[in-house]
Chains A and B, each alone.
Chain A
Amino acid sequence: MVTLKDISLKNYSLDNLKLISRLREKHFNTQTEVCVERALLMTRYLVQQNGSGDNGKLNRAKSIHHYLANRKVFFPDDNLLGGTTSSRAIGAPLYPEFMGLSIWPELDTISTRKKNPQLLSSEDAEHCNLEIFPYWMDRTVLEISRKKYNNPQSLQLLEKIVYYISGKAGCISHCVPDYSRILHEGAEAIIAEAREKELLLKANSNGSLEKIHFYRSVQIALKGLVAYAKNLSVGAQKLAEVEKNPFRKKNLQAISKVCAQVPAKPARNFREATNSLWLVQVGLHAENINMALSPGRIDQVLYPFYKKDRQNGSVSVEEALNICCCLWLKIADNTNLVPEAAEKLWGGAGSTPAVTLGGVDKDGEDAVNDLTFIFLKVTELMKLRDPSVNARYHYLVNSKAYRQRVVEVIINTKAIPAIHNDVTDIATLENQGLTAEHARDYAIVGCVELASSGRDYVASGSIMFNLYSVLELSLFNGRKFTMNNEQVGPETGEVDEFRTYDEFYEAFRIQLEWMLAQAIDLNEKFGKVHQEIITTPMLSSCFTGPMDSGKDLIEGGALYNSSGASFLAFPDLCDSLNAIEQVVFIEKKYTLKELVLALADNYNGAESLRLLLKNKTIKFGTEKALAIRNSRRVVNDIYSILQAHTNYRGGSYRPAFWTMTTHAGQGKLAGAMPNGRRAKEVFSSGITPGSQAAPDLTEAFNAVAALDHKKIPGGWALNMKYTPVLLNDQREDFQLKFGDLTEGFFRNGGMQVQFNVQDYKTLIDAKENPEKYPEMIVRVSGYSAYYKDLSDAMKDELIMRTEYNLMGGRSVPLPDSYRPSESI
């Protein structure tokens, strides 16, 4: 329910929220440090335990417990909430069981590299080199899989980098846990339930040992979390006793009191509930890598506590705002550990924990409440990369005032939040077999992915699939021309054998099906290795299903299961297919062989052909029948191929179209394409029409909305760029048109859209003079990033995205003088 008189909370700013202003400034001035604490404690524990006779599941839970119970108690600043993801103010935690060892060659240089250095002390580097990494070098998911499956072809293709990325080598994490139960009942209630179920199974002679171990693991892991909170409580009290500063002393005492209560016991007020949620997140990160583990609908989860406190007068709006800002800073206290080559190609991402605001509730009623607006205000004030903020909007239920407030925050931050269409998203999830009630309670995972909160183990980052490489294989009879012409895919015909566009497309479809089968094969193999060594008892206790079935999430314990596959270079692929059909098969201006020869030589000596393909062919993002048909056909085929597979947890494969920054990095590694794109140019992001491809704004929206959203259950990222309004008297009209056009897109079937309210000139200037824009935040392709942290390729892609003049509804031409960087 909305009781706020001013939903914009105009009276609050960083000028009068002194604590928040101070904490925020410190956050921006703090450099990321590699944190090896978890890796070191867990490794030492596991080394000691070798030969103890425990099974892997219990050992995993015990090592998590050991880390949580023994980790450093750390209060880096005056944040009102207790608990940190790592033992650094902003930490990049090392997860050696995944890809943490990839920084091994860089231990001496990671602190000083040019792009996004991450500080690592020589002492910690030595811990890594001599203690942590040697233990794990035969025990990572990747290497265990390689050995177990004898270096399968699907793994060899992964290591070629350009076909697909298989997320499970580095994480699963991507999901939205349910925090409600711990907040309302406390972790001790879940521990007691697990204990009861364990005893019941033990009493039954037929009780499954697997299930007994699962319930035992839940208790062990959660007790670790409780121990960590108790240590925080004691630590805060000790610090308070010697603290001279009155504010700090009082705050430490309050944290001590809060952490003595939660998450072990039920939260009694808003501050305890918020801190409990954060501590659960910290616990989950002890178990699961910090990659898109998303807090979800926090305005719904925390609302009962806020409402009660407001009703009994124990919290003011300002106090709630302070607590929520502190939560934002806590969520932003960690980032990913990234090796240098990956940083240059794909860097700039945080850990993308997504929060979701607004929308409808389980019954389809308006879920927007006071806390929704408080969190929108927090988003507006803080302008942080993490959390990745998403606003749900149901055009039949939510108010226009809410819609316009979301728009206002986007304009003020120039980028956040992203907006999601409740109507299409709910229908899409229902089409995947979710009940209406469960579909309505969806939240966003990581970038744009959809998941029913605490019920749907979506593992949405399982596969990132490069459509460019499939197109290349279909143009070269299964050979990877740009990699020594190696035969990779099936032989589907030389280009001069195709008599019709449909014959060529069939070759593409066969290559697509074959390559997807490889990606799925590897995901299945990795999934099985996860089942053996990376169980997730704490995360499982935050889902509907595992506590009833006695099965860990990784074994299919969740109510709903799926794996996500996201596709990159979709707009470039569509434009290429359009160009082939139009120029080769309809207009017959060139043969496919001539086109392929030009591609092989990166259009050298074929500039007139390239210009024809680039400027005179039908583009995705227009409402031309051929463009609509080809884009829908690709989406439909991807959906049919993926949904025919069942994953190792008994769930489906869900296609998605978000690309993080991979469209920039992979573009730099790719050859020329039939849409006139030269080799090494960046791809278009997500599902966004190519640079300058769609001059009419409404038409661009309509073309994307024409895709069948039910066949994109993983979600899409549509990135739009609007010229900012400079004159105040135009602002109201701009805001209204912004909201109306977004709603029109949604009414036509659009799922999601995110914006950058920036012009070419500013983005070019920010690329050339990063020091002038230290806090500039942008939407990349699904998440937010600080512009200065991005690679040159990614900055170029953001600059080249079509800029639209919203009021005129037309694109603004890219300055002729602009030249993207040659290098990465």
Chain B
Amino acid sequence: MNKISWLFDRFRFSGSKKDFIKCLEEESLDFFLENILRLMDLYLSVNRKFRLNIKDFNARYAFKSLDGKIDASVIFKDSKMEVRDYVIKDTDVTVMFRDGKALKNFLFSDSPDIIASILKSEISYTGNLNYLAKFAYMANHLKYKFTG
């Protein structure tokens, strides 16, 4: 049963990976957050090493677009990742962003775009910046893994 479930996850993962790469290449990045959360969730389920990132890690994240179109939350608890499509309370960090592109720049901070995003108030956060850094590492790791 576990093997079947693992194979099913691998199959779903393969599809998500394609979506993710496609999403990174697109200008609008409307589904960036959804894709990255989906991919992260799946990769955690299929990759034991990646799962170490959330071992004993209890944290609550919320993501909210400034136009109100995107709301999502992530809860890491008991070595599991849970995604919700609304903004939760009592978070360790809450990220407000203009759109998917701003969030991408912020998470994949391989250029001073991150600073430009802050200056233009395209992105802001409340809470502990280190939690965001950890999430950004996990997201970057996926990007690095799949896009080289």
Residue ranges of A at the interface with B (Cβ–Cβ < 8 Å): 101-102, 104-109, 113, 129-130, 133-134, 136-138, 140, 142-143, 146-147, 151, 159-162, 339-341, 344-345, 482-484, 486, 668-669, 824
Contact count band on B: 20 to 34
7 smallest CB-CB distances across A and B, nearest first, come from: A105-B136, A137-B130, A104-B133, A108-B144, A104-B137, A484-B121, A105-B137
- Picked from B57, B115, B140, B141, the residue with its CB within 8 Å of the CB of A341 is B115
Give, as a whole number of angstroms, the nearest-CB distance from A342 to chain B. Answer: 9
Tell whether, in the assembled complex, residue B119 and residue A161 are in contact, meaning their CB atoms are under 8 Å apart: yes
Given contacts A129-B137, A486-B121, 14 further A-B contacts (CB under 8 A): A104-B137, A108-B137, A113-B110, A129-B53, A134-B134, A137-B134, A143-B129, A160-B119, A340-B111, A341-B109, A341-B114, A344-B111, A484-B121, A669-B116
A140 to B128, CA, bound (A): 10
- 29 example contacts (A-B, Cβ-Cβ < 8 A) are as follows A104-B133, A104-B134, A104-B137, A105-B108, A105-B109, A106-B109, A106-B110, A108-B144, A109-B140, A109-B144, A129-B137, A130-B52, A130-B53, A133-B130, A134-B57, A136-B130, A137-B131, A137-B134, A161-B118, A162-B119, A340-B111, A341-B109, A341-B114, A341-B115, A345-B115, A482-B119, A484-B120, A669-B115, A669-B119
CB-nearest residue of chain A to B128: A143
Give, as a whole number of angstroms, the nearest-CB distance from B140 to chain A. Answer: 5
Tell whether, in the assembled complex, residue A344 and residue B130 are in contact, meaning their CB atoms are under 8 Å apart: no
A762 to B115, CA, bound (A): 32
Give, as a whole number of angstroms, the nearest-CB distance from A323 to chain B. Answer: 43
CB-nearest residue of chain B to A129: B137
Give, as a whole number of angstroms, the nearest-CB distance from A142 to chain B. Answer: 7
Tell whether, in the assembled complex, residue B136 and residue A340 are in contact, meaning their CB atoms are under 8 Å apart: no
A138 to B53, CA, bound (A): 16
CB-nearest residue of chain A to B110: A340
A151 to B124, CA, bound (A): 13
Tell whether, in the assembled complex, residue B110 and residue A109 are in contact, meaning their CB atoms are under 8 Å apart: yes
Tell whether, in the assembled complex, residue A341 and residue B111 are in contact, meaning their CB atoms are under 8 Å apart: yes
A108 to B116, CA, bound (A): 23
Tell whether, in the assembled complex, residue A105 and residue B130 are in contact, meaning their CB atoms are under 8 Å apart: no
A587 to B54, CA, bound (A): 66
Give the chain B neighbours of A102 by CB distance below 8 A.
133
Give, as a whole number of angstroms, the nearest-CB distance from A275 to chain B. Answer: 38
- The answer, yes or no, to whether B21 is at the interface (CB within 8 Å) is no
Main secondary structure of the interface of B (DSSP, over half): helix
- The answer, yes or no, to whether B112 is at the interface (CB within 8 Å) is yes
Report if A106-B115 is in contact (Cβ < 8 Å); known contacts: A101-B133, A136-B130, A143-B129: no
Give the chain A neighbours of B46 by CB distance below 8 A.
none
Interface residues of B in 53-70 (CB under 8 A from A): 53, 57
Interface residues of B in 82-124 (CB under 8 A from A): 107-112, 114-116, 118-121
CB-nearest residue of chain A to B125: A159
A348 to B110, CA, bound (A): 17
A134 to B134, CA, bound (A): 9
Question: What is the total of A-B residue contacts with beta carbons within 8 Å?
Answer: 89
A151 to B128, CA, bound (A): 10
Give the chain A neighbours of B140 by CB distance below 8 A.
105-109
Tell whether, in the assembled complex, residue B110 and residue A483 are in contact, meaning their CB atoms are under 8 Å apart: no
Give the chain B neighbours of A484 by CB distance below 8 A.
120-121
Give the chain B neighbours of A345 by CB distance below 8 A.
112, 115
CB-nearest residue of chain A to B122: A484
- Picked from B53, B126, B133, the residue with its CB within 8 Å of the CB of A151 is B126
A668 to B111, CA, bound (A): 14
CB-nearest residue of chain B to A128: B137
- Picked from A109, A138, A668, the residue with its CB within 8 Å of the CB of B128 is A138
A109 to B142, CA, bound (A): 12
A107 to B130, CA, bound (A): 14
CB-nearest residue of chain B to A105: B136
Give, as a whole number of angstroms, the nearest-CB distance from B120 to chain A. Answer: 7
Give the chain A neighbours of B133 by CB distance below 8 A.
101-102, 104-105, 133, 137
Give, as a whole number of angstroms, the nearest-CB distance from B111 to chain A. Answer: 7
Tell whether, in the assembled complex, residue A344 and residue B112 are in contact, meaning their CB atoms are under 8 Å apart: yes
Give, as a whole number of angstroms, the nearest-CB distance from B99 to chain A. Answer: 15
Give, as a whole number of angstroms, the nearest-CB distance from A619 to chain B. Answer: 28
Give, as a whole number of angstroms, the nearest-CB distance from B27 to chain A. Answer: 20
Tell whether, in the assembled complex, residue B107 and residue A105 are in contact, meaning their CB atoms are under 8 Å apart: yes
Give the chain A neighbours of B115 by CB distance below 8 A.
161, 341, 345, 669
Give the chain B neighbours of A340 by CB distance below 8 A.
109-111
Report if A341-B119 is in contact (Cβ < 8 Å); known contacts: A101-B130, A105-B107, A151-B126: no
Give the chain A neighbours of B109 by CB distance below 8 A.
105-106, 339-341
Give, as a whole number of angstroms, the nearest-CB distance from A114 to chain B. Answer: 9
- Picked from B57, B114, B118, B136, the residue with its CB within 8 Å of the CB of A160 is B118
A188 to B17, CA, bound (A): 61
A160 to B118, CA, bound (A): 7
- Picked from A107, A143, A162, the residue with its CB within 8 Å of the CB of B137 is A107
Of listed B52, B110, B116, B121, residue having the most chain A CB within 10 A: B110
Give the chain B neighbours of A160 by CB distance below 8 A.
118-119
A344 to B144, CA, bound (A): 20
A149 to B23, CA, bound (A): 40
Give the chain A neighbours of B139 by CB distance below 8 A.
105
Give the chain B neighbours of A341 by CB distance below 8 A.
109, 111-112, 114-115
Give, as a whole number of angstroms, the nearest-CB distance from B72 to chain A. Answer: 19
A81 to B131, CA, bound (A): 42
CB-nearest residue of chain A to B140: A105
Of listed A104, A133, A162, A344, residue having the most chain B CB within 10 A: A104
Tell whether, in the assembled complex, residue B121 and residue A483 are in contact, meaning their CB atoms are under 8 Å apart: yes
Give, as a whole number of angstroms, the nearest-CB distance from B141 to chain A. Answer: 6
A146 to B52, CA, bound (A): 28
Q: Mark B3-14, 1 if CB is under 8 A from A, else 0.
A: 000000000000
- Picked from B112, B128, B136, the residue with its CB within 8 Å of the CB of A824 is B112
Report if A104-B130 is in contact (Cβ < 8 Å); known contacts: A109-B140, A109-B144, A134-B57: yes
Tell whether, in the assembled complex, residue B134 and residue A133 are in contact, meaning their CB atoms are under 8 Å apart: yes
CB-nearest residue of chain A to B106: A105
